[in-house]
Structure 1
Amino acid sequence: MRRVELKRNAARGRVLINLPLTILANIQLDCSSIMEIDARERLRQHFLNNRSPERWDELWKDGSFLPWDRGTPNPALIDTLDSKWSTIGPALKQDGSRRKALVPGCGKGYDVYLFAAYGFDAFGLEVGNAVEAAKKFAPEADTRDEYKARDENVGKGKVEFVQGDFYAKDWETSCHLDGNSGFDVIYDYTFLCAMPPNLRPAWSKRMTELLAPGGTLICLEFPLYKEASLGGPPWAMRAETYEMLLPFPGEEPEYDENGYVIKQERPPNPNGLTRIARWHAERSHPVGQGTDHVSLWKHREAA
C-alpha cells in the first residue's frame, strides 16, 4: 500500500504520522486536518506510558488541550433522535415520569444537554475536573437554540453530572436508579475508543448491566477511518469491534495480526445485546464526516 510520509518538524513542535492513501482519500489535508493529526499524536503521547484515568483528569484540570471537545453535540446524534424516535421510544413514560439517558465520558456535557432538550432526564458521567467543566457550561447551554425543548408538550428533562468510575457501581445511586431498572438510553461516541483495548470486555459487560430491559444503546462508531497500528487514544474502531463485544459481554475478542477484531460466528450470549440497526451518518463532526456510522443495540429479549 502506498503511503504519504508526514515528518516531524521539531522547530514547530509538530508531530505528524504516516497515513495510507486510502485514508487520505477520506481526509482533506488542509490546515485543519493537519492540526487534527497533530492533536491525535499529542494525545497518544500523553497516554503512552500511563493509561490510567488520572491522565484524563490531568488534561481536564489543565484545560488547554482538549482535542475531543467539538463545542456542540454531534449532528449524527441529533439526526438519530429525530429519525429513530419510534425505536428509541418517547421521553415520557405512560405515568408521566421521564425516562433516563446516560452519557458516559460526557466531557462538557453537550450531548447530555441535548438529551434533556428531547425530554429525558439526562446524566453525564465523568472524572473529577471534567464534571466541573460540564457544570460551568450550564449558563451557556441555557442560551443555545439546540438545547431548547424540542417538544413543548414534553418539556425539558433535568441535567445532572456525576463523578465516578464507569466500571464501579457506587455512582449509580446518584442517578436515582430504582433497583435494577437501568438507563433507558445510553450514548457512546468517543468513550469506547478512549479505552485501551484490554478494557473492551469490561466495557461491553458494563453496558449490558446499565441498559434497562427495554432500553437502547446508541453507538456513534468512531474512528472507523483510523488504522489500528497507529495506537490511541482514540483507538481505531471497526464495525466488527462492536459486533464482537456487545453480543458477548465480558468476553475477549480475537484480533488479527494488524490489531483488528476478527468477526467470528459464535452461539449468542443470552445476556448480550443485539444490533437492530446500523447506517452511515449523513452528518457528523468534520473529523468523522464520511466515515462515521451509527448503530442501535437492545437486549435480545426486547429486540
Structure 2
Amino acid sequence: MAKPDQDVRERLRQHFADLPPEDQAGAWNAMWQQNITPWDRGLPNPALIDTLTNLSGMLGRPFKDPDDPSKSPRRKKALVPGCGRGYDVLLLAAAGYNAYGLDTSTLAISSAQDLANEPDRDSKYAPAIPSEEGGGRGEAEFLEADFFKDAFLAHTDGGEFDIIYDYTFLCALPPALRPAWAKRMSDLLSPTGHLICLEFPLKKEPRLGGPPHGLTCELYEQLLKQPGTEVKYDSGGYVIVEEGGVGRADGALTRVARWKAERTHEVGKGGDYVSVWMHLR
C-alpha cells in the first residue's frame, strides 16, 4: 500500500504530466490551493544552515566595505528561485544578505510575506552577525515572478547576485527547461558569486518522471559547464556523458566544493549532496 507522502507525490506528478513546459510555471498555484505541497518542510533546510556556517571563509562577509568609509557597507544579494514559503530566504536575510525569493504562485508569495511578518521572526531567524559587529539583518523580499524573465530585476537592483540557492527548483522544472536554467544561473551570478545547489532527489530514478524529477551529479556538471546547451539522455533518463568529455563554454560554472549533507530534511537524508559553483576565472 502506498504511503500518504507517495500518494501526494503521485497527485503532483499527474497534475503536471500532460502540461507542456511553457504552461507548467502557472500550474503551481493550483497545488497551493489544494494544499498539495510535499516540498514544504516548515523550516529552512539544515544543509543550507551548515553551508553558510562552514563556508563562511569562502563566501566572505555578507557585505562589501564601501570605498568611502563614511558610507554604510553594501550588502551582498542572495536569490532563491522557487522559494515557496520563503524559509531559506529568511535564513539568508538573517545571515546578512539582502535576500530575494521568487515564485510563480500567488499563494506561495502571500504565505512567504505572512511568514516574514510573524512576531516570532526575530527569535526564529536571529541575525548571524550582530549589528554592533557590522552585521545585522538584511532585507527579505518576495516577488511573484518568472525566474526566466527579467522583469523582477527592477526590484532587486539588477542582476549579479552574490549567492543563488537552488534546492527544489531544478527538480521541479521539466527537463526541456534545464539548459535554460543553467544559462540563467550563469547570467545572474556575479563574477565572484556562489551558486549553492542542494542536489535533490539523487535517490530517485530519472525515468520515473516528476516533479520532483530525479537528478544526478553528472547532470549538474553537464548543464553548468555548457550553460544553455542541450544534454543527451539514455532510455532511463540519465544524462549521457560523452567519451572524452565536452569543453567548457563561455559563462561556464565550475564546481569548487561538494559534500554529502550531514543534516537535511528527512526526505533527503542519506542522499542529499551540497555542491558550490563559481564562474571560471
Shift of 1:144: 5.8
- Residue 155 in structure 1 maps to residue 132 in structure 2: no
State the TM-score, normalizing by the size of structure 2.
Answer: 0.91
- Residue 290 in structure 1 maps to residue 270 in structure 2: yes
SS at the partner of 2:85? coil
Q: Return structure 1 stretches of 4+ with deviation > 2 angstroms.
A: 139-146
Identity within the alignment, %: 49
2:225–2:247 CA contact under 8 A, matched in 1: no
Letter in 2 for 1:271: G
Q: CA RMSD in A?
A: 1.4
Shift of 1:74: 0.4
Counterpart in the other structure of 1:132? 110
CA displacement 1:75-117 (0-9 Å, x = unmatched): 0000000001111221010121100000000001000000011
Q: Which runs of 5+ in 1 are unaligned?
A: 1-5, 7-15, 17-33
**Count of matched residue pairs:** 266
Shift of 1:141: 6.9
2:251–2:279 CA contact under 8 A, matched in 1: yes
Shift of 1:256: 1.2
State the TM-score, normalizing by the size of structure 1.
Answer: 0.85
1:243–1:263 CA contact under 8 A, matched in 2: no
Counterpart in the other structure of 1:86? 57
Shift of 1:286: 0.3
Shift of 1:63: 5.1
Counterpart in the other structure of 1:243? 221
Q: Which runs of 5+ in 2 are unaligned?
A: 67-72
CA distance, structure 1, for counterparts of residue 138 and residue 111 of structure 2? 20
1:62-211 matched pairs, under 5 angstroms: 62=33, 64-95=35-66, 96-127=73-104, 128-140=106-118, 142-143=120-121, 145-152=123-130, 153=133, 154-177=135-158, 182-211=160-189
SS at the partner of 1:232? coil
Shift of 1:64: 1.8
- Residue 54 in structure 1 maps to residue 34 in structure 2: no
Letter in 1 for 2:259: W
1:33-48 matched pairs, under 5 angstroms: 34-48=3-17
Shift of 1:35: 2.3
1:113–1:141 CA contact under 8 A, matched in 2: no
SS at the partner of 2:191? strand
CA displacement 1:273-293 (0-9 Å, x = unmatched): 000111000010000001000
Shift of 1:142: 4.1
1:224–1:236 CA contact under 8 A, matched in 2: yes
